[in-house]
Amino acid sequence: MTETKIYVGLNDATTKTQKFDTGRYVELLKKVCIGNETPFSFNLMEGGYIHEDGTFTQENSIVVTLIDADDDVVDAVARDLCVFFHQESVLVTLNQIEARIISETL
């Protein structure tokens, strides 16, 4: 099983500042994942990023986790988030995981 994480900064690529409230980005993220019909979860975090021009900036970020998503779905979600959040790029990591689902009749 594959765990994919997509790291998306919230600072605008041009202004290098966060243009909108974090909640607005979360709502857009949900629409992107639902539109691509993929199960997802996400975490909000703070971090730092080095732009292509070498400038370092601190920013709020969202990390989206997709489990066993097809590569084309991962790419579509990553591209949409990159465009809609006006980013230079987003980071996609892939990890092979062992997982199991436990269910219980209520």
- What structural domains does the chain harbor? 2-96 (3.30.70.120)
Residues making up the chain, counted from first to last: 106
In this predicted structure, what is the pLDDT of residue 48? 86
Residues 47-69 as b or e (16 or more Cβ within 10 Å = b): eebeeeeeeeeebebbbbebeeb
The percentage of residues in the chain with a pLDDT greater than 70, rounded to a whole number, is 100
Beta bridge partners of 44: 62
In this predicted structure, what is the pLDDT of residue 50? 83
What are the tens digits of pLDDT across the range 45-80?
998 888 778 888 899 999 999 999 999 999 999 999
Residue whose tokens read 């080095």: 50
Report how far residue 62's alpha carbon sits from residue 50's, in angstroms, rounded to the nearest whole number. Answer: 16
pTM, entire model: 0.91
CB atoms within 10 A of CB 82: 16
